Amino acid sequence: MKLETRGHLTMLWLGRAAVLFLALATPAEAFEAKFLMASTVDLANPHDVKLSIDDRWLFVSDVDNGWVAILDAKSLSLVGQYGADHWNSTHDLDIGEDGRLYVADNNNHRVGVYELTGTKAEFVGELSERIRKPEGVLAGPGGRTYVTGAGSDNPVVYVNGKDHAGNGRLFSPARHRVHAKW
């Protein structure tokens, strides 16, 4: 038996073949946060928030109102809202490197795509292939958008607005289980 330490990792050698790795935790640095303010905007189940590329605006997904609220990032005051006329249960949202806003519209089974100009948003398209009840959305690099479908039990990736998953039908991992042999 041999005990060897490298940084925060300890290895216990048991014979020639067996190795046991133990990660030793170090005390975390103290975390301190100071409360600054809270918004007084009348929101109903705010779910997700993203900061605009220019750091001026907060876009807040307000699930039960079915809209996106736009708040001033410094004062948290309401400066606008949109989507109440066509969304139904907004969930996650993200702002891509292209400056577009992507909003998961859960009960309409789509992700709305908006061109942003300050606090104004213009609907430019939607992502809806192979997802039901989207909740998570991530605008990734290279024109990729990742969406999780809570109703279709699947993640989907779109490239420049096109489904990139391949077979053109919904896939639910829960219905296709792999049973490992031990």
pTM of the predicted structure, to 2 decimals: 0.72
Q: pLDDT at position 71, please?
A: 93
Q: 142 lies in a domain?
A: yes
Query: What Cα–Cα distance (Å) separates residue 20 from each residue in 7, 11, 25, 37, 137?
Result: 16, 6, 16, 48, 39
* Residue 176 in tokens: 């296709």
Q: 182 lies in a domain?
A: no
Domain span at residue 89 reads 46-175
Percent of the chain predicted with pLDDT > 70: 72
For residue 168, pLDDT beyond 60: no
Q: 36 lies in a domain?
A: no
Q: 27 lies in a domain?
A: no
Q: 40 lies in a domain?
A: no
Q: 164 lies in a domain?
A: yes
Per-residue pLDDT band at 69 (split at 50, 70, 90): very high
Find all residues with CB under 8 Å of 26, minimum gap 6, and list them.
8
> What is the number of domains present in the chain?
1
Q: 161 lies in a domain?
A: yes
Per-residue pLDDT band at 50 (split at 50, 70, 90): very high
Distance CA 12, CA 172 (A): 42
* Residue 133 in tokens: 């009840």
Q: pLDDT at position 68, please?
A: 93
Buried b (16+ CB within 10 A) or exposed e, 24-63: eeeeeeeeeeeeeeebeeebeebbbebebeeeebbbbbbb
Q: For the chain, give the mean pLDDT.
A: 78
Q: Taking residues 72-98, report their average pLDDT.
A: 88
Cross-strand partners of 140? none
Span of 38-47, 58-67, 81-90, 107-116 with lowest mean pLDDT: 81-90
Q: Taking residues 68-76, report their average pLDDT.
A: 93
Q: pLDDT at position 19, please?
A: 46
In Å, how far from its chain's centre is CA 51? 13
Angle at 154 (CA atoms; ends 148, 157), nearest 5 degrees: 60
Residue 151's CATH number: 2.130.10.10
Q: 10 lies in a domain?
A: no
Per-residue pLDDT band at 2 (split at 50, 70, 90): low
